[in-house]
Amino acid sequence: MGQYPDGLRSPFIIRNPDEPYKYDEEITITVSDWYHAEMSEGIASFMTYKNPTGAEPIPQAALMNDGQNGTIQFEAGKTYRLRFINMAAFAMFHIWIEEHDMRVIEVDGVYTEEYTVPGIELTTAQRVSVLVTAKNTTEKNFAIVGSMDTDMFDTVPDGLNPSDCLDKIFSKWIDVTNWIVYNSSNPNPDPVLADSFYDWDDTLLVPLEPEAVVDPDESYQLDVLFDTLGDGQNYAMFNEISYKPPIVPTLLTALSVPSNYSTNPTVYGTSTQPLVLGHNQMVEIVLNNGDAGKHPC
């Protein structure tokens, strides 16, 4: 429906009274791409026969905590839990704090064993918590940078990128900088040019409370593909079916059809790809990304 990129979104934090990790304070940090046009205009230019390759609208800016050039206060020696949330419509972000390691402890609500990284990658809608221990000195402030993944952008508008090498620049357009401030009377330094991004392997994360793998009762494979259909528009699809909301919401159909039909996938229509699951079954879903762009699972 495309309303959250018009601003209708916010962090939803649920704290754990029996928190397994110790830290002194927590700070929520959101990142987002930002469009100057409203989504109704963006969708109209995106979903049209004039855009058969499905080139997505390119954002005009990157935001951190719904702004730019903001500050985050650190006290020397304290350990902070930073809750990162990518609220973007489209862009994957690289995020790092200069001269500070991050210890990943939670991904999408699941605690992990501590995993130390120089920075994180966050695709849309992903959430990651990291622990960052502040330095013991307050002599310097440090840039915290969010950098949008330009691999996802089909075109880069002229005049917005000051360098030929898109991956190595700090432009107002692709990057957003805030500062970790130890002492507000010290300057907030420009971020250092990065030669490359840290490309993390999140399959190396280990859950803090591991559960044994269980043989699934049912297994489904969903292949993500983009393709241009007969109307000339480009669609995203699971197994060659593009989702369209049914006229009657699926749950209401399940509750209103005669009960002997509710487990018959036909009643849910042809554009919703219903998978009728058995009660309390262990279901395996194999998701294959057939697109070049990064996408959260």
Partner 1 sequence: MSLVNRFFLVSIACFSLLSPVLAATKSIEWDVAYTTANPDGQYERRVMGVNGQWPPPAIELDYGDDLVLKVNNNLGDAVTGLHAHGLFQNGTNYYDGPVGVVQWYFCHSYMHLSR
Q: What are the E-state strand segments in 21-108?
A: 25-34, 61-64, 71-73, 79-86, 93-97, 102-107
Determine if 295 is a binding residue for partner 1 (CB under 8 A).
no
Determine if 246 is a binding residue for partner 1 (CB under 8 A).
yes
Cα separation of 45 and 38, whole Å?
11
Secondary structure class of 202 (helix, strand, coil): helix
Please give the DSSP secondary-structure letter assigned to residue 16: -
Please give the DSSP secondary-structure letter assigned to residue 67: B
Site residues for partner 1, 142-161, by CB under 8 A, read: none
- What is the size of the binding site for partner 1 (CB under 8 A)? 36
Residue whose structure tokens are 């809608």: 125
The stretch near partner 1 (CB under 8 A) out of 4-12, 112-120, 183-191, 225-233 is: 4-12
Indicate which single residue of 34, 84, 90, 179 sits in contact with partner 1 (rule: CB under 8 A): 34
Indicate which single residue of 22, 23, 24, 28 sits in contact with partner 1 (rule: CB under 8 A): 28
The stretch near partner 1 (CB under 8 A) out of 143-151, 198-206, 213-221, 246-254 is: 246-254
Indicate which single residue of 105, 119, 127, 145 sits in contact with partner 1 (rule: CB under 8 A): 127
Cα–Cα distances in Å, from 215 out to 149, 199, 206, 278, 283?
A: 37, 31, 20, 15, 9
CB-nearer residue toward partner 1: 38 or 202:
38
Residue 45 backbone dihedrals phi, psi, to 5 degrees: -80, -20
The stretch near partner 1 (CB under 8 A) out of 6-14, 74-82, 207-215, 218-226 is: 6-14
The stretch near partner 1 (CB under 8 A) out of 62-70, 94-102, 185-193, 283-291 is: 62-70
Residue 41 backbone dihedrals phi, psi, to 5 degrees: -70, -40
Cα separation of 80 and 105, whole Å?
12
Q: What's the CA angle centered on 29, arms 24 and 31, to 5 degrees?
A: 165
Site residues for partner 1, 79-118, by CB under 8 A, read: 108-109
CB-nearer residue toward partner 1: 16 or 264:
16
Q: Return residues touching partner 1 (CB under 8 A).
A: 1, 3, 6-17, 28, 34, 36-38, 60-61, 63, 66-68, 108-109, 125, 127, 172, 245-246, 249-252
